[in-house]
């Protein structure tokens, strides 16, 4: 059984896979994602007192021009709603890692701004994140041959 796939040009093509195979593949990807996220979150919390979303928020702020992002932009990058990112930035503020600031041109706009201590904490946690990520992916690759093949192909394509 094959399914029709619409290409960017609008022409149809055949993917050669069935919906059942795609559903099975997607389920495995979600399980891999959950496994890796769990390992990352536990390691960051244990070693650095940071949740995974907090670590990622500090990373986005570190990479942002002037170390600041509008709250709605940070929410979009993190995949969180406005209320969740407000609470997250509140936790970062309480930990003295970031603060909220009003936009000087538009008083309705609110920015999340990283502090020097936030840069430092993110940098300290980066090695833990990277080591744990590699270990979790390697573990998953060793447990399931199909996952190992897929991860090897992805790693090669992103070199």
Closest CA to 94 of 152, 59, 156, 49: 49
Give domain status of residue 52, yes or no. yes
Tell me what the mean pLDDT of segment 26-54 comes to: 96
Q: Is the pLDDT of residue 86 over 70?
A: yes
pLDDT confidence bin for 137, thresholds 50/70/90: very high
Print the domain residue range for 98: 20-157
Tell me what the mean pLDDT of segment 83-106 comes to: 93
The H or E element spanning position 110 is: strand 110-114
Q: How far is residue 147's CA from residue 137's CA, in Å, rounded to a whole number?
A: 9
Give domain status of residue 5, yes or no. no
Q: Is the pLDDT of residue 1 over 90?
A: no
Is pTM beyond 0.95 here? Answer: no
Total structural domains within the chain? 1
């Amino acid at each position: 059984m094959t399914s029709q796939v619409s290409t960017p040009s609008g022409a149809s093509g055949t993917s050669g896979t069935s919906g059942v195979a795609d559903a099975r593949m997607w389920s495995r990807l979600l399980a891999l994602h959950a496994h890796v996220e769990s390992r990352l979150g536990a390691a960051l919390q244990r070693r650095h007192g940071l949740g995974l979303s907090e670590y990622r928020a500090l990373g986005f702020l570190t990479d942002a021009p002037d170390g600041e992002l509008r709250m709605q932009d940070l929410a979009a990058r993190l995949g969180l709603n406005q209320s969740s990112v407000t609470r997250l930035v509140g936790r970062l503020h309480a930990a003295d890692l970031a603060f909220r600031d009003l936009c000087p041109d538009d008083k309705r706009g609110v920015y999340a701004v990283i502090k020097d201590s936030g840069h430092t904490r993110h940098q300290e946690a980066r090695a833990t994140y990277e080591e744990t990520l590699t270990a979790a992916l390697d573990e998953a690759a060793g447990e399931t041959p199909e996952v190992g093949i897929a991860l090897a192909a992805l790693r090669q394509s992103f070199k």
